[in-house]
Structure 1
C-alpha cells in the first residue's frame, strides 16, 4: 500500500489525512483516513517547520498503517546538498521502514532542474525530492499518477480531505 498524506492546520488544531492506493495510475483511493490533532504548537520563527511530523505519525499510529511508500506535500530535502526537510525527518521517525517522496509546488531559489517534474507542457514544474527511492524512479511514478493537470488527482484529493475534514469539526 502507498499513501499520500497532507495536514491542514486550523489555529491550534490540525487534521491529518491520507489516501491509500496500490497502482500509480489509480484515479481513486482504495481507502481514506483522517486524524484530528487536538493541539499543535506554533512554528518557531526561523526554524524548520516540523509541525506536520507528529500529525503524520499520529495518523499512522491511530489507523495502524504500515505503507511501503508515503508521498508528502513538502520536501524530503531542502536543497541539492540534502539538508533534511520534513520528509527526511519522517523517514527517520519511521526507522527507515518506507520510502518517502516529497512533492512541492514551489522551489527554493537555486533548486537544480534535476528535481523538476513537468506533468503538462506549459505549466510550472513540481519539485520532487525523495529518500529510499531513486530520484528518477520517483519522478517517473509522479508522472504516471492519474490526472491531466499539474498536480495528480490523488494529491489534490488528500489536500481537500484534510482541509474539508478540518472545517467539518
Structure 2
C-alpha cells in the first residue's frame, strides 16, 4: 500500500490527511485517514519537520503499516549533498528506516542535491521535485510519471491537498 500524507494549518488546528492507494497508477484511493490536532509548535524557518512530523506520527497510529508499504510526504526527504534532511528524512528515521519515504515537492529548494530528481508531468513546464530514502529515487521516476491524472500534480495527490483544506 502507498500512504500519502499532507497537513494544512488553520488557526490553532492542524488537519492531517492520509490517502491510501494500492498502486502507482490507481485512480481511486482505498482509504482516507483524517485527524485534527492542536498545533503544538510555531512555524520555524528551516525546521518545518518540527511542526508536521508530530501530526503524521499521530495519524500513523491509526494505520497498520506492513512490509512493502511506502509513504509519500508533501515536501522533501533529502535537502542537499551534505546530509541535511527534510520532513521525509525525519519521518524515515522516526520509523526506524523500515518503510521507504518519498518526498514529492511542488516548490524547488536552492541547495544542490544529487539525489533530487525533477519530474515533468502532462504538458507542464514546471517540475515536481522527487527525493527519497529507503528506495532508489531513479526507480521512482517512472512510477511518479505514471500516476493517474494528466496534469503536473497526480490526481490523488491533488485530492489529498484539497481534503486538507476542508
Whether TM exceeds 0.5 here: the answer is yes
Partner of 2:150: 148
- Normalising by structure 2, we get a TM-score of 0.90
Structure that is richer in helix per residue: 1
Deviation, structure 1 residue 13:
1.3
Partner of 1:56: 56
Query: Are 2:98 and 1:94 aligned?
Result: no
* Cα deviations by residue, 1:45-81 (Å, 9 ceiling, x for unpaired): x4411111000000011x1331510111000011233
- Normalising by structure 1, we get a TM-score of 0.89
Partner of 1:35: 35
Which of 147-156 and 136-145 deviates more? 136-145
Regions of 4+ moved over 3 Å: 110-114
Flag structure 1 segments of 5+ consecutive residues without an equivalent: 165-169
2:127 alignment partner, one of 125, 128, 132:
125
> After superposition, where does 1:77-92 map in structure 2 within 5 Å?
77-92=78-93
| Distance in 2 between residues matched to 1:28 and 1:111, nearest whole Å | 35
Query: Are 2:157 and 1:158 aligned?
Result: no
What's the secondary structure of 1:138's corresponding residue? helix
Partner of 1:8: 8
Task: Assess if the C-alpha contact under 8 Å between 2:124 and 2:152 holds in 1.
Answer: no
Deviation, structure 1 residue 122:
4.1
Flag structure 2 segments of 5+ consecutive residues without an equivalent: none
| Distance in 1 between residues matched to 2:64 and 2:164, nearest whole Å | 17
Q: How large is the RMSD of aligned CA atoms in angstroms?
A: 1.7
Partner of 1:167: none
Q: How many residues align?
A: 162
What's the secondary structure of 1:16's corresponding residue? strand
Deviation, structure 1 residue 25:
0.5
